[in-house]
Amino acid sequence: MKNTTLPQLYQEMRRVRTFEERVGELFVRGQSAGSMLHLSIGEESAAVGVCARMRDGDTFTTHHRGHGIFLARGADPDRMMAEIAGKDTGYCHGKGGSMHIADMGLGHLGANAIVGGGIPAVVGAGLSARHQKSGAVSVAFFGDGATGQGILYESMNMAALWKLPVMFVCINNQYGMGTRIDQATANPDLHERAAAFGLAARTVDGLEVEDVVEAATDLMEQARGGTPAFLAIDCYRFYGHARKDKSPYREELEEEEGRKKDPVLQAREKLLTTGLMDTAELDALDDEIAREMDAAIDFAIAGEEPQMQSMFRDVYAPTEPEPEPVRTRLDRILAQG
């Protein structure tokens, strides 16, 4: 995203927020694939602020709460929604679903439902970028729950040791599933762990998207220069861990206070107070985005289910013959009498 003015940042955050609201609607209507959806509502500034500083050729991985990150990086909401609905018109032809979307064309090396599972891929991508002298950086997005996984520390150590153009972005939404961060770690200053490995590291409050952009600008430039970086972005997860989770482990008052840390509303209010946009302009923009995301749902619902014979597409190399499905093989054997 070349333009990082506040109106553009607000527009992208509003698109992420509205898309996620429509994903929740798709689930309630029983038209999403699978039984698990993880929404990133409340974390929009992290996705938009960091992606605003990424360039063409950069790569990234996301976690199971990665819809907003992919959208902020330039994904087509129609194809994203179709993938979440398990349709052939989706990014992975319906085989990835919500938690395993990927698109090499946009540098998306894959979302991963395993906590911390996507992190080590950026070490390999960073090593490749360094050898090729491409100037690209590879970014791993993950939640605070992944800071309990050993693979993160192995990856940070290797990135620092080899001086790789890699950036680790921890979206700290305060909860790993149902466990609050202060009940999972004695020191919630997560960036200090990265600094111990020799990474450029800091924490930023995700309430102000412009602060996220500023921090991401500094750290990403250091990463491009061979000093890997770590950015923790403090947010609040507005809803439960997954769409079905009613978060019984949180008090109603806590959720009420937590949702006041709304980066989308904060940006809107700042646009109004600074006179950059007025209420009519913002309402018109919000309506336009709502229509865009309504169209994404319509596109997803109208899509065709993937055919059985497509199950091996994109699984094997194009030059490799596809294996014969068991059902087809059995039919062939039985037909021989």
**Secondary structure (H, E, C), 181-192:** HHHHCCCCCCHH
% of residues, the chain, pLDDT over 90: 77
Which amino acid would we find at residue 245? D
CA 290, chain centre distance (Å)? 20
Structure tokens at 81: 């929604």
pLDDT tens digits for range 35-62: 788 999 999 999 999 999 999 999 999 9
Read off the pLDDT of each residue in 271-298 and give the average, rounded to a whole number.
98
CB–CB of 149/116 below 8 Å?
yes
3-state DSSP assignment of residue 225: coil
- Check whether 90 has a pLDDT greater than 90: yes
Identify the band that residue 150 occupies on the pLDDT scale cut at 50, 70 and 90. very high
Nearest alpha-carbon partner for 197 in 163, 173, 172: 163
Distance CA 27, CA 23 (A): 6
pLDDT tens digits for range 116-131: 999 999 999 999 999 9
Asked which of 42-51, 151-160, 247-256, 303-312 is least confident by mean pLDDT, the reply is 303-312
pLDDT tens digits for range 70-86: 999 999 999 999 999 99
Structure tokens at 208: 């102000």
pLDDT tens digits for range 227-259: 999 999 999 999 988 878 888 999 999 999 999
Which run of H or of E encompasses 138? strand 138-143
Q: What is the mean pLDDT of the chain?
A: 93
Q: What's the CA dihedral at 72, 78, 84, 87 to 10 degrees?
A: -150
Which is more confident, 310 or 227? 227
Identify the band that residue 1 occupies on the pLDDT scale cut at 50, 70 and 90. very low
Which is more confident, 309 or 317? 317
Residue 328: what pLDDT?
83
Residue range 6-335, CATH number: 3.40.50.970
- Check whether 152 has a pLDDT greater than 70: yes
Q: Where are the domains of the chain?
A: 6-335
